[in-house]
Amino acid sequence: MSEKDNPTGGELKFIASTHPLNPERLKQIIDDHTKEKKGVTSFERRGGWSKREISKQEQLEVQSVINAAEEKLTEIGIPNTQSLVPTVEHMSFLEAEGERPIAAQTGQYNNYIKFYLPSGYPLTDSEYQATLLHEISHFVTPVVLKTTTTTSSSQDVVLETVAKGFDREPAVYTDERGIFEEGLADLFALFVLNKEDLTIPLAPESIDRTIFTMALLKEFAKRSGISPVEVFIKIFKGKVLRDYSAQKELVDIFGTNVIRGINNIDTFYGEFDDKDKTEEIAKQGGFLDEYKNLRNDLAAGRIISFPGIQGHFKGNPPHIMEELIALNLHK
């Protein structure tokens, strides 16, 4: 399947709008956005990044990870996975000399995935594979859009992102992703790779959201009497399908105030804006101790894991955050 056959990857959904958008205009907006963002921007070029051409063998290696993700998505009951997952053609690869973090970015319309790698970095490396799977988790999650008009011209209809999966889209341009998007994406990577001896570094901007998600899901499992991995599958599947029965179950167990609080946690470059408020939400939900224990383990250099999913997470050097902020890759 080519990029032409599947131009946007994960499903695009529209809410009611007084500004209709015809299919040709939609395709033009997405194509223009892809051309602008998928290549090497002038900002990236100034930062020392250049396009990396990958070999046919490397394409096969990337495709094997995509295939593994598709198999897992099908296994947990998500339909039409072939039309959801990205192809290699959706991807672009940038590289730079020196010590650089492995980072990636999924287009806001699920229209591309861009990778940032140290020069010559092997695509068979488990950290790259985990990053790819993390982005696939974002890519297969539907984006909800509405049409609006620009302030300069009421005739120019444009797209406005409203939500992605269970996440609401903030009114600012930071494109911060919330608890369910980031935490579940990291767990999905381990879930697909399925290797007990695997340890993946958590990106600094993901740590808070990921360990919060892990603590939440473990408490959900304890109270509902099912295994943590079953809870992960239930919530992951719910956010990909935008099936709010999964959110209803969360509300039934934790209460409206806790889940409303979780859905409205604000972050800046992935870190919680108000850590005291976030801890209060975890306390109300009964998983504050677990949340703190996971944070302390990572801070002490220990690895952490999630019951029923093979593999482990570890912390990442804090200096990497500076590079990610420079690239605006907090997604």
- Per-position DSSP letters for 150-178, written without gaps between them: -SS-TT-EEEEEEEETTEEPPSSTT----
pLDDT tens sequence across 201-260: 987 777 888 999 999 999 999 999 999 999 999 999 999 998 989 989 999 999 999 998
**Neighbour-count burial for 293-308, b at 16+ CB within 10 Å, e otherwise:** ebbebbeeeeebbbee
- Counting every residue written for the chain, the total comes to 331
Q: Report DSSP state, residue 203.
A: P
CB of 189 within 8 A of CB of 195? Answer: no
**Neighbour-count burial for 93-129, b at 16+ CB within 10 Å, e otherwise:** bbbbeeebbbbbbbbbbbbbbbbbbeeebebeeebbb
Direct distance between the N- and C-terminal alpha carbons of the chain, in angstroms, rounded to an integer = 27
CB of 6 within 8 A of CB of 30? Answer: no
Report residue 155: phi and psi, to 5°. -85, -20
Q: What is the pLDDT along the chain (331 residues), one digit of tens a residue?
A: 333 333 444 556 655 455 566 677 777 878 887 877 888 888 889 889 999 999 999 999 999 999 999 999 999 999 999 999 999 999 999 999 988 778 898 888 888 999 999 999 999 999 999 999 999 999 999 888 777 765 555 556 667 777 778 776 653 334 556 678 888 999 999 999 999 999 999 877 778 889 999 999 999 999 999 999 999 999 999 999 989 899 899 999 999 999 988 888 876 655 676 788 889 999 999 999 999 999 999 999 999 999 999 999 998 765 454 555 555 554 4
Residue ranges of domains in the chain: 12-164, 174-327
Token representation of residue 268: 């800046």
Helical ranges in the chain per DSSP H: 23-38, 42-46, 56-75, 81-84, 126-139, 179-193, 207-224, 228-241, 245-254, 256-263, 275-285, 288-299, 320-327
- Per-position DSSP letters for 32-75, written without gaps between them: HHHHHHHS--HHHHHTT-EE-PPPHHHHHHHHHHHHHHHHHHHH
Pairing of strands 309-314, 199-201: parallel
CA–CA distance from 17 to each of 12, 20, 72, 212, 247 (Å)? 15, 7, 36, 35, 26
